[in-house]
Amino acid sequence: MSALVLDCDGVLADTERHGHLPAFNATFEQFGLPVRWSEQEYGEKLKIGGGKERMASLLPSVDAGERAQTLLTWHRAKTAIFKRMVAEGRVPPRPGIARIIGAALDDGWTVAVASTSAEESVRAVLESAVGAAIAAKIPVFAGDVVPAKKPDPAIYRLAVERLGLHPAETLVVEDSNNGLVAATGAGLRCLVTVSGYTRDEDFTEAALVVSDLGDPGRAPIEVLANRSAARPGDYLTLDDLRACLEASR
């Protein structure tokens, strides 16, 4: 049985620019920290996997115990701010996400989300993107359920193991090089939908790289690289995803 495993940030929605960055800055303001990350600075922070880990860069020389507690407090506040932004509709889903997930479920695919962001945040974004009824059908692997964040493949290995997936029949959708490395490290093929922060990253190992999944009635997608049997039109279809699982050309 085919399976579709999606990252959250940058895949389900453009969360980094419209959600996480303003939520981080609002948290810094809430705690009186003299820090505000610009879009450019945050692009550099994205090379670090995990929100707490990005915040940790602000506390390089603090005692380990105090550092851990401070990060936990900051991150809880940031997660609450982020969830509120999602609930207010300020983090819209990316094109094609609801359509592709619905088509995959209707066709009997296993669909899951695997992210090393906080589980509360991931579930909020998923529900916003596809609705509560469909989100309830989708397993979520997120947060600190694995000891290492992407690009470590642990989160994808966990999803494969827990769901009993066959790697050759499992396609991952990612938006970053970190995510691609995590997916391929777990022996999975990967489709990349780039975001504004990741467009220029190295996606050599991806089966297919596109601007987004697309939707009927929208501008045609841009195919940035294709090493699969897929022949995308104006938007990706379930047949294109199946073709990404075939042997490379």
Q: Could you count the other beta carbons within 10 Å of the beta carbon of residue 38?
A: 10
Q: Which residue has the tokens 């697309």?
A: 214
Separation between Cα atoms, residue 77 and residue 10, nearest integer Å: 21
User: Who's near 227: CB < 8 A, 6+ residues apart?
Assistant: 206, 207, 208, 248, 249
Q: Is the peptide bond before 151 cis (omega within 30 degrees of 0)?
A: yes
7 tagged catalytic: yes
Counting Cα atoms < 13 Å in the Cβ hemisphere of 39 gives 7
Residue 196, CA distances (Å) to 5, 99, 139, 212 in order:
22, 22, 27, 11
Residue 243: phi and psi, rounded to 5, are -65, -25
Instruction: Compute the distance between CA of residue 183 and CA of residue 173 in angstroms, rounded to an integer.
Output: 9
Name the DSSP letter for residue 79: H
d(CA 10, CA 33): 27
Q: Is residue 102 classed exposed, middle or buried when 0-12, 13-18 and 19+ CB atoms within 10 A define those classes?
A: middle
In the set 7, 175, 212, 215, the catalytic residue is 7
- Residue-level length of the chain: 249
Catalytically annotated residues: 7, 9
